[in-house]
Structure 1
Amino acid sequence: MSEHKPADQLLQELEQVNTQLLQSEKLAAIGQLAAGVAHEINNPIGYVFSNLKSLAQYVEDLLRIADAADEVNSLEALRALKSRLDYEFLRQDIGALLHESAEGITRIKSIITALKDFSHIDDEDFRSADLHHGLESTLNLVNNELKYKAEVIKDYDPELPSIECLPSQINQVILNLLTNAAQAIEGSGRITLSTGRHGDEVWFEVGDNGQGIAPEHQSRLFDPFFTTKPVGEGTGLGLALSHSIVQKHGGRIEVDSAPSCGSRFRVWLPITQPSHDAEPSP
């Protein structure tokens, strides 16, 4: 004779399954990013390494000139050595190599910072965060996927206040929406990022000029496992995860889309979380 489980136990088990499904989507997103992030890091590392090899040769030549200053019998001999080693070129190119290498290191640092922001542990507390920082750090992560597909146009509200949120989870929402926007574009297109404030809420919007979404599909966009992508291209959990995160923050997602006209996903979030002081996030 089978035993019926109490309703609260069933709800708890359902919530655990839901959490595991959403976590699997986050892991899938990280896996999808891995190759692109590796490419984004490998590129600046490649030219920094090449620059270091050139700088090593330049330093060797400069030391030969410095040593020669104590050894040559005449100023003319020193000048001849400087000319033979192309001293003027060394002076100019050393500065250029150092500048280019510094840019490469800065690029690598920004990618690592973005990874840290994105991969923050899930049990972080609500805290004040800059939404624009989240948008930019997530853009750094998906740059390799976007740069060949779309021009990114930004329309940020310069007066946008910080919000109380779980930053890594909001970054997950941004990542999902950016990835969906890129995948909706055939060939090359345009992605717009906008932010604004209305009353006690702020919003950010990800828009694209891609294929758009059929009206009959829009009511199911946030259903787990529902996807309009071909088989093997997506789990159908990205928007479900985003919807769950935004609801957890007391916000909402609005969708404006039509076939062949692109899509706009606007995420509304409260500036403050009225209950998080009394009830710490799980």
Structure 2
Amino acid sequence: MPHTDMSEREQLSARLEQANRQLLQSEKMAAIGQLAAGVAHEINNPVGYVYSNLQSLETYLGDLFRLTDAIDSADSVADLQSIKRNIDYDFIRTDLGDLLAESREGIERVRKIIAAMKDFSYVEDEAFKLANLHQGIETTLNVVNNELKYKAEVVRDFGDLPDIECILSQLNQVVMNLLVNAAHAIEGFGRITIRTRQDNDQVILEVEDNGKGIAEEHLTRIFEPFFTTKPVGKGTGLGLSLSFNIIEKHNGRMDVHSTPGQGTCFRISLPVRQPATEDKP
């Protein structure tokens, strides 16, 4: 009978863990859905000027081919020089370099956004692996860039960090929740500071904004599931609750300090290495 009880408890634990994974992924995809319009704009902007550059390139190539085709039919060098002046060869030569550089930059921007979305939405296993926290932060910033750039200057105050043992996609989700919440807390244009440092065998991550702050009566409830002060359609009320659970799962700690009218700072402490336990995921 005890064996049966243990088996039932193990099955229940497995089902709860599976439900938790599905909830995490659902919240992640819901957040991405809310950011989708901004991500589309981030992609559409560089694609727009690359398309415009291709139209200019088509015109330039037509002019250059007219010059090269004339080599076989021109009566004199003077005729070629006349065509060269007519097509404004010197301008084309200069502008071609600028067009290609700008287009390359635009395509690289699209590539980074798509790679960030792919990394962010990736469903990985529950194994803890060594990962670069700064790389995860940059991936998340690429995903939420459109949500932030009109609201705040993002200041990176990064220290020297070792790779940490973590589930990076889940930490990215935590960082995204904190960054989006910070942007929503700022009225007008403000500042969001991301700080990292190592403290012995811990890594410290802080996300601080100079927004409107959190009312004292809400501070004790912000990690409760479904609690939100945002209007309907702006949040699920699960972001901070799931973030808190993710940090607990990483054997870390999440604290918040806020002063109404001055801003909020979320402080996360994570172990560089996870404690060795038999049942560690």
Same fold (TM > 0.5):
yes
The 2-side partners of 1:13 and 1:115 are apart by 28
Which residue in the other structure is 2:27 paired with?
A: 25
* Contact 1:192–1:206 under 8 Å retained in 2: yes
* Contact 2:122–2:169 under 8 Å retained in 1: yes
Which residue in the other structure is 2:240 paired with?
A: 239
- Structure 1 or 2: more helix by fraction: 2
The 2-side partners of 1:62 and 1:15 are apart by 64
The 2-side partners of 1:216 and 1:156 are apart by 32
* Contact 2:46–2:110 under 8 Å retained in 1: yes
Q: Which moved more, 1:8-17 or 1:220-229?
A: 8-17
* Contact 2:28–2:121 under 8 Å retained in 1: no
TM-score, normalised with respect to structure 2: 0.91
The 2-side partners of 1:126 and 1:11 are apart by 19
Q: State the identity as a percent.
A: 59
Pair 1:191 & 2:187 matched? no
Q: Which of 126, 129, 154 is the matching residue for 1:127?
A: 129
Which residue in the other structure is 2:266 paired with?
A: 265
In 2 relative to 1, CA 100–195 (structure 1 residues): closer, same or farther, beyond 3 Å?
same
Q: Which moved more, 1:85-94 or 1:159-168?
A: 159-168
Instruction: Count matched residues.
Output: 275
The 2-side partners of 1:162 and 1:199 are apart by 14
* Contact 1:117–1:137 under 8 Å retained in 2: yes
User: Partner amino acid for 2:106?
Assistant: G
Q: Which moved more, 1:207-216 or 1:124-133?
A: 124-133
Which residue in the other structure is 2:201 paired with?
A: 200
In 2 relative to 1, CA 89–102 (structure 1 residues): closer, same or farther, beyond 3 Å?
same
Report the CA distance between 1:27 and its aligned residue: 2.0
SS at match of 1:100: helix
User: Partner amino acid for 1:119?
Assistant: S
Q: Which of 93, 97, 100 is the matching residue for 1:98?
A: 100
Unaligned runs of 5+ in 2: none
Which residue in the other structure is 2:175 paired with?
A: 174
TM-score, normalised with respect to structure 1: 0.91
The 1-side partners of 2:162 and 2:12 are apart by 40
Q: Give CA-to-partner distance per residue, 1:65-101, whole Å, 9 cap, x none.
A: 1111222111111000000111011001000000000
In 2 relative to 1, CA 232–120 (structure 1 residues): closer, same or farther, beyond 3 Å?
closer
The 1-side partners of 2:261 and 2:269 are apart by 25
* Contact 1:209–1:263 under 8 Å retained in 2: yes
* Contact 1:204–1:268 under 8 Å retained in 2: yes
Q: Which moved more, 1:54-63 or 1:193-202?
A: 54-63
Which residue in the other structure is 1:73 paired with?
A: 75
CA root-mean-square deviation: 2.0
* Contact 1:117–1:167 under 8 Å retained in 2: no
Q: Which moved more, 1:139-148 or 1:231-240?
A: 231-240
Q: Which moved more, 1:120-129 or 1:90-99?
A: 120-129
Unaligned runs of 5+ in 1: none
The 1-side partners of 2:139 and 2:212 are apart by 26
User: Partner amino acid for 1:266?
Assistant: R
In 2 relative to 1, CA 81–32 (structure 1 residues): closer, same or farther, beyond 3 Å?
same
